[in-house]
Amino acid sequence: MPTHPATIEANEKAQESALALADITGVGRHDVAVILGSGWMADADLLGRTVADFPVTNLPHFRPAVAEGHLGRFRSVDVSGERVLVFLGRTHLYEELGVDAATHRVRVASAAGCRSILLTNGCGGLNPAWTPGTPVLISDHINLTGTTPLHGAHFVDLTDLYSKRLRAICMEIDPSLDEGVYAQFRGPMYETPAEVRMAGIMGADLVGMSTGHEAIVARSLGMEILGLSLVTNLAAGLSPHPLSHGEVLAAGKASAARMADLMTRIIPQM
């Protein structure tokens, strides 16, 4: 059992956020959580019937989102009868608010009743065949942040961190989906071309700045995890032009209908 005071405090704050969430949404418990990252905001309206929609700052212990394309809202959405807690945007490690702030949404999702979580992100791709807008299932991750979202002697097994069961269902829904290993860097700068080559030698296929820590916390809370990356740009050194946030947003818009369709079909299986 995690007994470090920082873990207990993080879980208590999440309980308080979840109580407020139940209060203002009128939805006492949620079944599944979704975190929408860069390039995924346009999907929010296509998931199902929005029951409630608020800024995260209406809840205690949330910080306003800073990254462009990260709205800082949450919704309660009815997806085929499942009560889905959707976060539009996340808090990143590079915001320097600490690992607990960067994983607070995951703890809130668990405290709100969610037993499974869909983590999405926009990221750089190392496979040149993955043109911007290509979705990739996360099969595993490499944590290159030099830190952990856990506290103290909290030994958590990360085997099959990204659910084999859910990945198999996704592949049935869309057989054209590829899988890849996600390397989480701290950011906020994108990688140098040398760092991208290093990540590739280490076994990474995707480079990003989120998701890994969230998955670790979700596993520590016993949740089932599905990770979906949207390759919004070729990783540095592989791209013919400098990386820009504009292409991230464009790739997201272009893939929204396909990704929302996949999500609405996988969520009832979660």
> Which residues are designated catalytic?
191
Using the minimum distance from each CB to ligand 8IG, give the nearer residue, 89 or 208: 208
The answer to whether 208 contacts ligand 8IG (rule: CB under 6 A) is: yes
Q: How far apart are CA 139 and CA 98, in angstroms?
A: 26
241 DSSP 8-state letter? S
Q: Which residue has the tokens 């029951």?
A: 51
At 190 the three-state DSSP class reads coil
Q: Does 33 bind ligand 8IG (CB under 6 A)?
A: no
Query: Minimum distance between the CB of residue 188 and ligand 8IG, rounded to whole angstroms?
Result: 9
Nearer to ligand 8IG, 48 or 212 (CB): 212
Cα–Cα distance, 258 to 191 (Å, whole number): 28
Neighbours of 165 (CB within 10 A): 12
* 182 lies in the site for ligand 8IG, by CB under 6 A: no
Q: Sign of torsion, CA 114 118 119 121?
A: negative
- Letters for 187-206 (x = contact with ligand 8IG by CB under 6 A, - = none) are x--xx---------------
Which backbone phi and psi does 233 adopt, to 5 degrees?
Answer: -155, 150
Total residues contacting ligand 8IG by CB under 6 A comes to 16
First to last CA, the chain: 26
Q: Which of 110, 120, 232, 255 binds ligand 8IG (CB under 6 A)?
A: 232
Give the per-residue contact string, 128-157, with ligand 8IG (x = CB under 6 A; - = no).
------------------------------
Question: What does the block give as tokens for 43?
Answer: 């999907």
Q: To the nearest whole angstrom, how small is the minimum distance from the Cβ of residue 24 to ligand 8IG?
A: 31
Q: Choose, by CB under 6 A, the member of 72, 89, 122, 200 that binds ligand 8IG.
A: 122
Q: Does an H or E element contain 125, and which?
A: strand 116-125
The window from 60-68, 105-113, 121-129, 166-174 that contacts ligand 8IG (CB under 6 A) reads 121-129
* Cβ partners under 8 Å of residue 239, min gap 6: 233
The smaller minimum CB distance to ligand 8IG, of residues 113 and 187, is found at 187
Q: 116, 223 in Cβ contact below 8 A?
A: yes
- The piece of 25-33, 153-161, 215-223, 230-238 that touches ligand 8IG (CB under 6 A) is 230-238
The residue (of 76 and 145) whose beta carbon lies closer to ligand 8IG is 145
CB of 113 to ligand 8IG, least distance (A): 30
Contact 211, 119 (CB under 8 A): yes
Q: Which residue is nearest to ligand 8IG (CB)?
A: 124
Beta-sheet strands, E only, within 66-168: 73-79, 82-88, 116-125, 134-143
- In angstroms, rounded to a whole number, what is the distance separating the alpha carbons of residues 59 and 112? 13
Q: Which spans of this chain sit near ligand 8IG (rule: CB under 6 A)?
A: 38, 122-124, 185, 187, 190-191, 207-209, 232-233, 235, 243, 248
